[in-house]
Structure formats: structure tokens, C-alpha cells
Amino acid sequence: MGKYFGTDGIRGMANRDLKPDLVMKVGQAIGYTTRREKVGRPVILVGRDTRLSADMMEAALIAGLTSTGCDVVLAGVIPTPAAPFLATTLQLDFSIIISASHNPMPDNGIKCFSSHGFKLFEETEREMEEIVDSGLPGDFILPAGADVGKIIPLFDALQRYEFYVQSRATYRFDGLTIALDCANGSTSKVAHNIFSNLGARVITINDHPTGLNINDGCGATHPEILQSLVKCGKFDVGLAFDGDGDRVIAVDEKGEIVDGDGLMNIFSLYSKGSGLLNNRILVATVMSNMGLELSLKKAGMRLIRTDVGDRNVVLKMLEEDAILGGEQSGHIVFLRDSTTGDGIITALHLLEVLKETGRKMSDLARTLTYYPQALRNLPVKNKSALLGDERYIGFIKEKEQSLKDKYRILVRPSGTEPMVRVMAEGPDGESTAKLVDEICDFLARIDNA
């Protein structure tokens, strides 16, 4: 992780960590590096989620981009995966989404995609950080007059994305009744249309964003309301998106959660049976449950793990020629459809499995047996220094040696927040939770010393 860029772009509290002057400098850094690779005037797409601070962030970012001579295609509120889709189909040079994804409303962020629709390499991010801190190179002259960039509104951005997603469906969904939770975010104006146009009976909640209520007790990180709705109603499945629409969590007809691991298991087994998985490989992260790995192995498939972050997943997918990958959190990537995680496309493919197999969601979910897993997010003062402390290194090494082959331990810094994530898997829930608590207590003592 760099100074500003984490595992998924830049993120922090708007107008505190991400002040307008910093955002403008980020825009200039993006504009400069894009211009350097382009003959002529670059054209960059900018979209946003529904946060109140997005107006401020958008204005500052556009100022930075246009001041370096880049034109800006303004897409408005769109799901994150719509940005690389629009940029590639319109043959633009770069795309940006202003969003903090699943984070609370006070936060905001900047997600960047290349002209090919993929998230940036770390080397590019480091170069941009240097420009943000040191300023534009001395030999770069800011344009003036007719050379200053302009704004080009893209009024039909959502309609273009909606039409594309619908075109990826193999079946109509007549006869299916589904509940959607849009987290009062970017999917609020498009998700209902897509699934109802494909024939499903759709009930949608949390689809009235005010700028203040994004992810507020709803969506993929808080699916409790959706669980109650599905459990009390006659729904085939519930689908909870996060604030920017790049992830989804499912709820079966009994109100039970099916996370990203459960969804990837369903897709892998279904794809294997239908011949859609070309090399029997699923790419997931170190956070995915051991049960997923064993399920795939039993079915003659292989799980390849990467570091956390859907960018890492996609890079490994390209390296291994895989077409399916994702994260436990619900970021699922179908490379035949999208260059990044797309909650709506993932939901679409899940409904296809339900329609094709005729099985209930709970029946499909039972194909994965989870190993007990415990996870705690520990707020810390300095995550890098803490995890590099010799006392911690010695402690965790001793633990891993004594618990070998019985537990899996993963401790990593958050890429977006000032905290350390401590995860363990083991033979039973109680001992696994105690192990996580023991690690967190040790880390907290070092952090507070």
C-alpha cells in the first residue's frame, strides 16, 4: 500500500483526509500521467456514488483534470463497474469513480481504471502519489486558452450500462420473485429496471438515496432488513448490493446469508457442469474459507489464492487464463462480462443458475460446508509499524508452529481504514474465536505500549 492508494483506490473521510486541494492534485496527477501516454487530448470519464460529499469531490477532481488539458465525460451517479464498461466501449483514455464503496457516508474515495478497464498497477499509483506530493514536473506547462479541458455530459450513462447488463442474460427470469437492497447507493436507479425487464417480480428496498443514508444499516454490509423481508415473504432470493454496486451478498429463501464464498462455489460447480469454466480454476483471496477449497477439490477443480483486493484477483485471473474469481465479501468477477467486480452481473448469473437448475437457493448454498471462521477488525494507531514489530513477528510465528495443520491464521492491515484485520479458521468456532481474541489482545498491548 502507498501513501494515498490502498487496496482499492484512495479512501478517507471527505473534507478531512480527502480535502478539495488534495483531490485536485490527484486529478492533476491522473491528467498528467494520462497525457503522457496519449497523442492529443485525453478524454476521461468521471462517475460517482450518492454521497453528499461527491459533489465537492467531483468539482475538485474535474478542476485537476481539466487544468492539465484533459476533457471530462461526466457520467453522474453510476455503479462502479459501469465506469470501465463505458470508458472501454466509448474508447476513452481513463475512468474514475468517486466512491468509498461500503464505507460509511462521511467517507469518500477515488477508484481508477485504465483505458482497458482494469484497476491501476501499483507502479502507476506510486508515480501518481509522487506527483501529488511533489507537484507536476517542472517542464510541464499548464495549458491555457483553448487547450484547457472541457466537460462533456453523458446523459444516458445509466441506460447504456443497463442495456449492456441485460444483454448478458442467457435466460429470462419469469416466475422468479426477488428482493433487492440497493444500500441507497449507485444501483438504486438501475437494478430494479434490469431484473424486472428480464421478467422477474422485483421488490426493492433502500433505493431512495438522500446523500446521507448510503450504506446506513442496509446493503451488503448490513443485510438484516433484507433477511427479515425475505424470510417473511415468498421470495426465491434476496440480493444486497453495496453503496457503489461492485459487490453483492445473497439471502436464500429462508433468510440465511450466502456470502461471496458461497456464491463462487455455486458458480464454480454450475460452470463445471455446463462446461463454462475453461480450465477448472477459481481465483479467490487468502480470506476465502477452507471449505471452498475442499469443495472445489472434491469436484476436480482448483482454488488459487491471492492477496486481498479484487485487483489482485483479476491480475491472477489474467495470468492463469481464468474467467471466474472473487472475494468472500461479494466482489465476484466474470471476465467474459466485466473487468472488475459487478454486483448486478453477479446477481444476474445467480438467477440464471436458479432458473436453469430449478433448485432452491438454500439447496444450492448447502453445497458448501464452511470451516468455523472468526474475524475481528482491530483499530490501531500505526498498522505498518505494528505488524513489523519484532514482538508480534515472534508471537505469531510461535502460534503458527504450535497450531500447524489445525488452524489457519491471517493477520493483515486494512487497505482502506486504520485497523488490522485478524482472521482464523479452525476445527470449532469457540476455540477459533478465542485464538483471534488472543492475537488481538497481544496486538493491542503492543499498540498501546
Phi-psi sector, 44: left (phi>0), alpha (psi -120 to 50), beta? beta
pLDDT surpassing 80 at residue 159: yes
Task: Using alpha carbons only, give the angle 18, 21, 23 rounded to the nearest 5 degrees.
Answer: 50
- The highest-confidence range among 35-44, 49-58, 264-273, 416-425, by mean pLDDT, is 49-58
pLDDT band at 274 (very low <50, low <70, confident <90, very high): low
Catalytic residue among 53, 67, 99, 101: 101
Q: Are 295 and 367 in contact (CB under 8 A)?
A: yes
Task: Tell which CATH classification among 2.60.120.10, 3.30.2000.10, 3.40.120.10, 3.40.640.10 matches the domain 168-365.
Answer: 3.40.120.10
CB neighbour burial string for 368-403, b if at least 16 within 10 angstroms, e if fewer:
beebbbbebebebeebeebbebeebeebbeebeeee
Task: Tell which CATH classification among 1.10.10.10, 3.10.20.30, 3.40.120.10, 3.30.465.10 matches the domain 5-157.
Answer: 3.40.120.10
Between CA 348 and CA 343 the distance in angstroms is: 9
**Distance set, CA 207 to CA 165, 252, 420 (Å):** 19, 21, 32
- pLDDT tens digits for range 305-339: 999 889 999 999 999 999 999 999 999 999 999 99
Q: Three cell numbers at 230?
A: 425475505
pTM for this structure? 0.90
For the chain, where do the domains classified as CATH 3.40.120.10 start and end?
5-157, 168-365
| Mean pLDDT rounded to a whole number for the chain | 94
Q: Three cell numbers at 449?
A: 505500549
SS3 percent helix, strand, coil of the chain, rounded to 5, is: 40, 20, 40
Burial of 106 (0-12, 13-18, 19+ CB in 10 A): middle
pLDDT surpassing 80 at residue 275: no
Q: Which residue has the cell 477508484?
A: 111
Which CATH fold would you assign to the domain 373-448?
Answer: TATA-Binding Protein (3.30.310)
Compute the average pLDDT of residues 156-171. Answer: 97
Please give the DSSP secondary-structure letter assigned to residue 106: T
For the chain, where do the domains classified as CATH 3.30.310.50 start and end?
373-448
- pLDDT tens digits for range 91-103: 999 999 999 999 9
Q: Three cell numbers at 214?
A: 448510503
Compute the average pLDDT of residues 284-308. Answer: 92
pLDDT attached to residue 411:
92
Q: Strand (E) positions, 242-380?
A: 248-251, 257-258, 281-285, 302-306, 324-326, 332-334, 373-379
- pLDDT tens digits for range 210-227: 999 999 999 999 999 999
pLDDT band at 144 (very low <50, low <70, confident <90, very high): very high
Compute the average pLDDT of residues 391-404. Answer: 89
Does the annotation mark 101 as catalytic? yes
One-letter identity of residue 98: I
CA atoms within 13 A on the CB side of 301: 30
Q: Are 331 and 247 in contact (CB under 8 A)?
A: yes
Q: Which residue has the cell 484512495?
A: 10
| Range of lowest pLDDT (5-9, 47-51, 296-300) | 5-9
| Range of lowest pLDDT (41-45, 360-364, 416-420) | 416-420
Between CA 311 and CA 275 the distance in angstroms is: 26
